[in-house]
Amino acid sequence: MSHASSADLTAAPPVLLERPEDGIAVLRLNRPDATNALSLELQALLARHFAELADDDSVRCIVLTGGDKVFAAGGDIKSMAGVGAIDILRRHTERVWAPIQHCPKPVIAAVCGYAYGGGCELAMLADLIVAGEGARFCQPEIRIGIMPGIGGTQRLVRAVGKVKAMRMALTGEPINAHEAWVAGLVSDVVPDAEVHDTALTLARRIAAMPPLAAEQIKEVILAGVDASLDTALALERRANALLFASRDQKEGMQAFIEKRPPRFEGR
């Protein structure tokens, strides 16, 4: 008994936070023995990290990743198999995932291997998805008698269109990285060994940009997706005008005129 308790105390948490360089935070799913299945503990810790990073002015871009062989192979089926509808409702996954969904910082998902079920839904919360050539994306919930419940129908159809979303959700069959790129689900496809370096390179490039502009771009793109074109264009105009009140706008334009690198402060 004492040996088990000691192991529990020294066990690594299900999500690891890394700070590889200035401006960049990496969140790594860390349940390798369970194919990074999204346990309730993992989801809660991931949400806590996102909430804290959202308020951390030193972080300008977040990379979300899993292992070299699997990103995340869905929800934790064992924790769902015997529960009822009210139990599922009371889990309030919309609240748990809200800090990820509403994170103001740009988020890059680095996907190697499987992104199935909840793993695919988690990847779709990112703003960019860098996929390895061996990556696979799937919404297989129908195969166990349920359906996607954390955005796997709604975000998927917005990403790839109705017929491709229907095919994935109704058959539960995976698509490969190239098919995901053609469909518009992922932004980049690279060799598996280059996924993490590519994601960090993108994060470094974004972190060097003015953070206020990056946050406004993300907010307006996401808000405009479900708005009418006129409403979305109005949001864009006002956000663009707002940035002219920032010191970074003055610095960026002055640096351009003086032909020197800008120094953005997020103010």
Q: What's the pLDDT at 73? A: 87
pLDDT at residue 10 above 70? no
Q: For the segment 13-49, what is each residue's pLDDT rounded down to a tens digit?
A: 999 999 999 999 999 999 998 999 998 899 999 999 9
Q: Where are the domains of the chain?
A: 2-207, 211-258
- Nearest residue to 72 (alpha-carbon basis) of 16, 18, 113, 132: 113
- Measured between alpha carbons, how far is 141 from 150 in angstroms, rounded to an integer? 11
Q: For the segment 80-121, what is each residue's pLDDT rounded down to a tens digit?
A: 767 778 887 877 788 889 999 999 999 999 999 999 999 999
Q: Domain 211-258: give its CATH superfamily.
A: Lyase 2-enoyl-coa Hydratase, Chain  A, domain 2 (1.10.12.10)
In 112-259, DSSP assigns E strands to 114-116, 128-132, 136-138, 175-176, 188-190
pLDDT at residue 3 above 60? no
User: At CA 135, angle to CA 131 and CA 140, rounded to 5?
Assistant: 120
Between 109 and 11, where is the model more confident? 109
2 to 5, 10, 12: CA distances (angstroms)? 5, 13, 18
Q: Which fold has domain 2-207?
A: 2-enoyl-CoA Hydratase; Chain A, domain 1 (3.90.226)
